Amino acid sequence: MSTSVADRKSKGLIWFTTSFVVLWVFIAAGPFLWTVWGSFKVQPDFFSKSDWTNAIYGVMTKAETGSAFTGAGYYGAWVEQEFWRNSINTAIVVFFTVLISLTLGTLGGYALARSGYRYAFWLLMIALVFRAMPHATLVSGYLLPFFEWNIWGRLSTTIIVLVAINQPFTLWMLHSFFLNIPKDMDESAMVDGCTRFQAFRYVIIPVMWPGVITTGLFSFLLAYNDFTIGAVLLNSENQTMVPKIASFLGTVRETGDVMFAVAAAVSALVPLFFLILFFQRQIVSGLTAGAVKG
Q: Is 195 exposed, middle or buried (0-12, 13-18, 19+ CB in 10 A)?
A: exposed
* Residue range at the interface with another protein (CB under 8 A); choices 69-77, 79-87, 132-140, 208-216: 132-140
Query: Smallest gap, in angstroms, from Cβ of residue 285 to another protein?
Result: 8
Q: Give the contact letters, 204-243, x = binds to another protein (CB under 8 A), - = no.
A: -----------------x--xx-xx--xx---------x-
**184: nearest Cα among 210, 204, 201:** 204
Q: How far apart are CA 294 and CA 174, in angstroms?
A: 13
Query: Smallest gap, in angstroms, from Cβ of residue 41 to another protein?
Result: 12
List the one residue from 79, 136, 191, 213 that touches another protein (CB under 8 A).
136
How many beta carbons lie within 10 A of that of residue 239, not counting itself? 21
Query: Smallest gap, in angstroms, from Cβ of residue 184 to another protein?
Result: 15
* Residue range at the interface with another protein (CB under 8 A); choices 65-73, 81-89, 207-215, 286-294: 286-294
Question: How does DSSP classify residue 202?
Answer: I
Nearest 10 degrees: CA dihedral of 72, 74, 77, 80? -50
Q: Which residues within the stretch 87-126 sit at the binding site for another protein (CB under 8 A)?
A: 103-105, 107-108, 110-112, 114-117, 120-121, 123, 125
Query: Smallest gap, in angstroms, from Cβ of residue 30 to another protein?
Result: 9
List the one residue from 72, 98, 139, 204 that touches another protein (CB under 8 A).
139
Nearer to another protein, 14 or 191 (CB): 14
Q: Is 20 exposed, middle or buried (0-12, 13-18, 19+ CB in 10 A)?
A: exposed
List the one residue from 28, 184, 193, 253 that touches another protein (CB under 8 A).
28
List the one residue from 63, 79, 133, 213 that touches another protein (CB under 8 A).
133
Q: What share of the chain is helix, strand, coil (3-state, %, to 5)?
A: 80, 0, 20
Query: Smallest gap, in angstroms, from Cβ of residue 19 to another protein?
Result: 9
Residue 66 has φ and ψ, to the nearest 5°, of 90, -5
List the one residue from 11, 49, 149, 253 that touches another protein (CB under 8 A).
49
* Residue range at the interface with another protein (CB under 8 A); choices 66-74, 77-85, 204-212, 244-252: 244-252
Query: Smallest gap, in angstroms, from Cβ of residue 65 to another protein?
Result: 20
Nearer to another protein, 92 or 120 (CB): 120
How many binding residues for another protein (CB under 8 A)? 107
How many beta carbons lie within 10 A of that of residue 217, not counting itself? 18
Q: How far apart are CA 30 and CA 32, in angstroms?
A: 5
Query: Which 3 state secondary structure label does DSSP give 14?
Result: helix
List the one residue from 88, 213, 270, 284 that touches another protein (CB under 8 A).
284
Q: Which residues within the stretch 6-25 sit at the binding site for another protein (CB under 8 A)?
A: 6-7, 9, 13-14, 17-18, 20-21, 24-25
The number of C-alpha atoms within 13 Å of 58 and in the hemisphere containing its C-beta is: 17
Q: How far apart are CA 42 and CA 155, in angstroms?
A: 35
Are 239 and 89 contacting, i.e. CB atoms less than 8 angstroms apart?
Answer: yes
